[in-house]
Amino acid sequence: MIATVLTMAGLTLREAFRRRVLLAVIVLTVALLALSGWGFSRLAAESDAGALTSGEARLVAATLLNLVMFGFSLIAALGTAFLAGPTLSGETESGIALAVLARPVRRSAVLLGKWLGLAAFGSGFVVVAGLAQCVVVRLTVDYWPPHLATALTLLAAQTVVLLTLAVLLSTAISPMASGVVAVGLFGATWVAGVVGGVGEALGNEGVERIGTVSRMLLPTDGLWRGAMHGFQDPALLTQLDAGFEGHPFLSIAPLTAAYLGWTALWVAMVWGLAAAFFGRRDL
Amino acid sequence: MLLGLTAPDAGEVMLLGQPGTDPGARTRVGYLPELFRYQPWLTATEVLTLHVRLSGLEIPSSERQEQLALVGLAERAGDRVGGFSKGMQQRLGMAVALVARPELVVLDEPTSALDPLGRVDVRDIVLSLREQGVAVLLNSHLIGEVERVCDRVVILDRGRVAAEGSLAELLGRREVRLHVTDLPTGAEARMAQVGEVTRSGDWFTVLLPLDDIDTAIPDLVGDLVALGARLHAVEPARISLEEKLLGILREGAAR
């Protein structure tokens, strides 16, 4: 059972390497790092020249850092969601799964192995790229996030959540559709989160609820907000006035333990559902 | 269904003495699906390694290479499966089915993508498996293939068993075709004693009985000559599996 899980996880990672997914992701990451490095160095130059006050510069740096991190989480989301489709439903469609599942293996073990491989790939990417980005920021504007480890963990968790959803979708619908739906939902929740933030800033409970509900249904946006909170300078928030409450790239509060618990439960439930679908599927 | 790939509507599956619901029952089973596809980003050797690992057995690498050589892929062992032709993928599938020292091998249309030479190779492999005491379940529409290698045959018609038995049981009815001129009276009656007679011109086809097959033909020929018939040809004939299959399926369709 454990051997099967590890074998499948290794196989999935190898697939990511061999299918050039890793290469594509590295190219994108390097491009994003270079662009952001240039941006941050411009920012430092402006700040030194006295065009920006130190508070303004810090706000812009925090916003930019969160923006770039959002870019990374998007790359990770797209990468894993589009990898999850082919690796599961693509394999059942093409017939690769026939030979594998005829071996003395449980389907749930195969699914768990694939999920684990994808999770390792997505989280690994987010952590490495995020760290590299922080080094770039450190070198350019001399800023280091206060809760880097927490923030990167939450970012990785966000990837795992989306990936679990993509795995569930790919047990039920075609590979391409599952990727599109997963990424679409990811974007929709993010937008709903921003809308909810605006509602919060305006004191409109109805609008605010949109964000809260969407964050419960798909925890990617909630985790993302928690991660942002870890990246930004805590001094920033005390300096900000209420007008910044609805800001899409700044976060007011850290995550609650209850929300993290809900996220873990959500992942377990969605994975369980995926395993149930996959286990019953006729090949 | 046997391999747990589709769920049965009813009934129970026993595989090598173990319930089919237990994945462990498939440890000693090799399978070549009709839809044979293997991870295109792996090499042939890596595909075999993966299947050995999933089977949970320890198979030395030399044995894996032997399997590849057996199916004619020894020189392509290090190449990615993505660059393989359909025929090569099917050969690889055969190696995958055989790699984990199976006791039962399930082959679904194993020669569908192979050239005549490949078909002979597969036939030889199946026959050698039979000699090693490995059970082979061969599913095929190529009747000639089945007739050459199978001990027992089951004919399915719309999911139901229409006929089953050893080849001898299924094809037990032999015929003899006779070319007779100057037919004396009583000759046809003599032929009818042996079995059902069909006539077309001077040719008579006599269905032979299942028993005393060794004596029926010489006795009949001797009697016909004694009666004064002139025999030009005596040709033994056997109902081919194809004719038998067509007969059964047509019967099924008529019902």
- Is B3 touching A (CB cutoff 8 A)? yes
User: How far apart (Å, rounded) are the C-alpha atoms in residues B205 and B191?
Assistant: 9
Per-residue model confidence as pLDDT tens digits over B17-54: 888 888 888 999 999 999 999 999 999 999 999 999 99
Most confident of A153-162, A195-204, B137-146, B163-172: A153-162
CA angle in degrees (0–180, nearest 5) for B146-B152-B155: 70
Residue A21, both tokens: 């997914």
Say whether A96 and B3 touch across the interface (CB within 8 A): no
Arch. (CATH architecture) of B14-150:
3-Layer(aba) Sandwich (3.40)
Residue B173 or B150, more confident = B150
Structural domains in chain A (count): 1
- Is A3 touching B (CB cutoff 8 A)? yes
The position carrying tokens 């240039």 is A38
The range of the structural domain enclosing residue A97 comes to: 2-280
Sequence letter at residue B104: L
Which among B6, B26, B42 has CB closest to A104?
B26
Q: How many CB atoms within 10 Å of residue B246?
A: 12
Which among A7, A19, A103 has CB closest to B41?
A19
Q: Which residues of B touch A7 (CB under 8 A)?
A: 50, 53-54
Per-residue model confidence as pLDDT tens digits over A257-270: 888 999 999 999 99
What is the average pLDDT score of chain B? 87
Say whether A11 and B37 touch across the interface (CB within 8 A): no
Q: Please, where are the H alpha helices in chain A?
A: 2-18, 21-48, 54-85, 91-94, 96-101, 107-141, 148-172, 175-202, 205-217, 220-231, 234-239, 257-280
Distance from CA of residue B184 to its chain's centroid?
Answer: 44
pLDDT band at B4 (very low <50, low <70, confident <90, very high): confident
CA atoms within 13 A on the CB side of A214: 23
**Torsion sign, CA atoms A248, A249, A251, A252:** negative
CB B204 within 8 A of CB B178: yes
The position carrying tokens 């050698």 is B128
Largest CA distance in chain A: 69
Is pLDDT of B186 > 90? no
Topology classification of domain B173-238? Alpha-Beta Plaits (3.30.70)
CB A236 within 8 A of CB A62: yes
User: How far apart (Å, rounded) are the C-alpha atoms in residues A155 and A161?
Assistant: 10
User: How far apart (Å, rounded) are the C-alpha atoms in residues A76 and A155?
Assistant: 10
CB A183 within 8 A of CB A78: yes
Which among A11, A14, A104 has CB closest to B23?
A104
User: How far apart (Å, rounded) are the C-alpha atoms in residues B96 and B104?
Assistant: 13
Return the domain boundaries, chain B: 14-150, 173-238
Instruction: Suggest the residue from B53, B59, B81 to mutate for an interface test with chain A (most A CBs closer than 10 A).
Output: B53
- Is A238 touching B (CB cutoff 8 A)? no
Per-residue burial over B165-188, b if 16 or more Cβ lie within 10 Å, else e, is eebeebbbebbbebebeebeeebb
Q: Which residues of A touch B101 (CB under 8 A)?
A: none
Nearest C-alpha of chain A: how many angstroms from B22? 8
- Is B238 touching A (CB cutoff 8 A)? no
- Is A264 touching B (CB cutoff 8 A)? no
DSSP string, A33-94: HHHHHHHHHHHHHHHHTTSS-HHHHHHHHHHHHHHHHHHHHHHHHHHHHHHHHIIIIIHHHH
ipTM confidence score: 0.82
Any idea what DSSP says for residue B82?
Answer: G
Nearest C-alpha of chain A: how many angstroms from B114? 18
Task: Please list the pLDDT of chain A residue by residue as tens digits (283 residues).
Answer: 889 999 999 999 898 888 888 888 889 889 988 988 888 888 888 777 777 777 777 777 777 888 888 888 888 877 777 778 777 888 888 889 999 999 999 999 999 999 999 999 889 988 998 899 889 888 888 888 888 888 899 989 988 998 899 899 888 888 778 888 888 888 888 888 888 888 877 888 888 888 888 888 888 888 888 888 888 877 766 665 555 556 667 776 777 888 899 999 999 999 999 999 998 888 7
CB A260 within 8 A of CB A215: no
Per-residue model confidence as pLDDT tens digits over B197-234: 888 888 888 887 766 667 888 888 888 888 888 888 88
Helix (H) or strand (E) run with residue B237 in it: strand B230-238
CB B216 within 8 A of CB B209: yes
What CA dihedral angle connects A280, B135, B157 and A281, to 10 degrees?
Answer: 10
